[in-house]
């Protein structure tokens, strides 16, 4: 039996949406998103096959860097929740064609939530994944594997550096040291899908100045993200000193405790 068999279910793109509930509305927001919008706004849509929610209590937000950040602002501590969704390869446009009318329908039928602020909401194209193990958990299954944490690392390539050059350097010089002999199982890299504007019922900031030079990385962790944070600090220092790229946002995340209001009293 070939353990490395390729299967046809492949992620092709992602929705990454980082949001803050307004103070005093934390529980109401968590329940609305988890019990309605997670499904009605995303999961029931065509070709979207997996989703997960993550939370950053204050103790994790205090670890973020750099401050200020072009991704979270005006403070790097903005953005308490992030929801992430996988869209099947080859079907991105079909899902987006459903999603925008759907969110307008939800808001027009009193199923929106005004007391929240979008901090960073973008669609991304899947680029590649580097795994720690020879027989890893595929990235397509990451949301269902019940990882103990996730780290998001946003990187902006320096002018004059080719994307292929940076990717190879990261894969050969940064990621082996970061992942090997650690609880960090994988790193998935994503490119933002450029947008000229949005016809959304919500205010969505456009805080990616140059989509071609920007990458979002997601690291899936088998332990509390605080246990590996020094590794991410060291890797980010190496990236910043390389003359190839800069880390513009780094944040640790915990999975939400689905069906409960855990962490809603720990955000600020």
Residues recorded for the chain: 268
Least confident residue range of 148-152, 204-208, 212-216: 204-208
Q: Residue 138: what are its φ and ψ, rounded to 5°?
A: -60, 150
1 pLDDT tier (thresholds 50, 70, 90): very low
Q: What is the mean pLDDT of residues 14-39?
A: 98
Is pLDDT of 202 > 90?
Answer: no
**0.85 cut: is pTM over it?**
yes
Q: What is the mean pLDDT of residues 203-230?
A: 93
Least confident residue range of 49-58, 206-215, 244-253: 206-215
Q: Which of 85, 253, 43 is nearest to 153 (CA)?
A: 253
Is the separation of the CB atoms in 251 and 152 below 8 Å? yes
Is the separation of the CB atoms in 47 and 91 below 8 Å? yes
Q: What is the mean pLDDT of residues 156-178?
A: 97
Please state whether beta strands 11-21 and 116-131 pair in parallel, antiparallel, or not at all (unpaired).
Answer: antiparallel
Q: Which residue has the tokens 């009193």?
A: 110
Is pLDDT of 172 > 50?
Answer: yes
Residue 200: per-residue pLDDT: 77
Please state whether beta strands 116-131 and 184-192 pair in parallel, antiparallel, or not at all (unpaired).
Answer: antiparallel
Q: What is the mean pLDDT of residues 123-150?
A: 97
Token couple for 240:
């910043």
Q: What is the mean pLDDT of the chain?
A: 95
Is the separation of the CB atoms in 223 and 149 below 8 Å? yes
Q: Domains in the chain, please, with CATH?
A: 11-255 (3.30.70)
CA-angle at 222, arms to 2 and 72, nearest 5°: 115
**Residue that wins the pLDDT comparison between 200 and 241:** 241
71 pLDDT tier (thresholds 50, 70, 90): confident
Is pLDDT of 23 > 60?
Answer: yes
Omega of the bond leading into 74 within 30 degrees of 0 (cis): yes
Residue 240: per-residue pLDDT: 98
Q: Residue 137: what are its φ and ψ, rounded to 5°?
A: -75, 120
């Amino acid at each position: 039996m070939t353990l490395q068999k390729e299967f046809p279910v492949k992620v092709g793109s992602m929705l990454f949406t980082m949001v803050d509930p307004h103070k005093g509305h934390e529980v109401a927001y968590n329940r609305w998103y988890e019990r309605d919008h997670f499904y009605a706004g995303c999961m029931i849509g065509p070709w979207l096959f997996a989703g997960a929610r993550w939370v950053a209590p204050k103790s994790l937000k205090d670890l973020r860097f750099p401050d200020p950040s072009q991704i979270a602002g005006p403070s790097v501590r903005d953005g308490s929740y992030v929801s992430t969704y996988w869209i099947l390869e080859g079907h991105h446009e079909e899902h987006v064609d459903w999603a925008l009318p759907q969110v307008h329908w939800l808001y027009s039928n009193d199923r929106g939530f005004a007391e929240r602020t979008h901090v960073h909401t973008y669609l991304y194209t899947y680029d590649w994944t580097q795994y720690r193990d020879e027989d890893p958990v595929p990235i397509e299954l990451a949301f269902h594997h019940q990882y103990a944490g996730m780290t998001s690392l946003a990187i902006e390539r320096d002018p004059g550096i080719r994307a292929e050059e940076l990717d190879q350097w990261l894969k050969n010089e940064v990621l082996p040291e970061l992942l090997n002999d650690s609880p960090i199982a994988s790193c998935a890299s994503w490119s933002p899908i450029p947008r000229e504007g949005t016809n959304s019922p919500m205010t969505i900031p456009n805080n990616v100045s140059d989509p071609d030079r920007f990458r979002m990385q997601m690291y899936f962790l088998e332990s509390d993200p605080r246990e590996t944070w020094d590794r991410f600090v060291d890797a980010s220092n190496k990236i910043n000193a390389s003359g190839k790229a800069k880390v513009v946002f780094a944040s640790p995340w915990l999975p939400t405790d689905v069906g409960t209001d855990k962490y809603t009293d720990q955000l600020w």
